[in-house]
Amino acid sequence: MPRSVTLYRMQKPLTDFLRYVTLVRVFNGNIALWLHILRNTSRNESSDANFLRWLESECAADPSLIDQIKQSVDASGLWPQV
Each residue of 2-36: pLDDT tens digit? 555 555 566 788 899 999 999 999 999 999 999 99
Residue 81 lies inside a defined structural domain of this protein? no
Q: Please indicate, yes or no, if residue 9 is contained in any of the structural domains.
A: yes
The CA distance from 28 to 12, in Å, is: 22
User: By CB neighbour count within 10 A (0-12 exposed, 13-18 middle, 19+ buried), where does 19 fall?
Assistant: middle
Measured in degrees and rounded to the nearest 5, phi and psi for residue 45 equal: -105, 15
Phi, psi of 39 (to 5 degrees): -60, -40
Mean pLDDT estimate for the chain: 89
The whole-number pLDDT of residue 8 equals: 55
The structure's pTM equals 0.83
For 53, the domain range is 3-75
Is there a domain that residue 80 lies in? Answer: no
Query: What are the C-alpha distances in Å from 11 to residues 4, 15, 17, 18, 61?
Result: 10, 6, 10, 11, 26
Domains contained in the chain, number = 1
Is the model's pLDDT at 68 over the cut of 60? yes
Residue 82's pLDDT is what?
A: 73
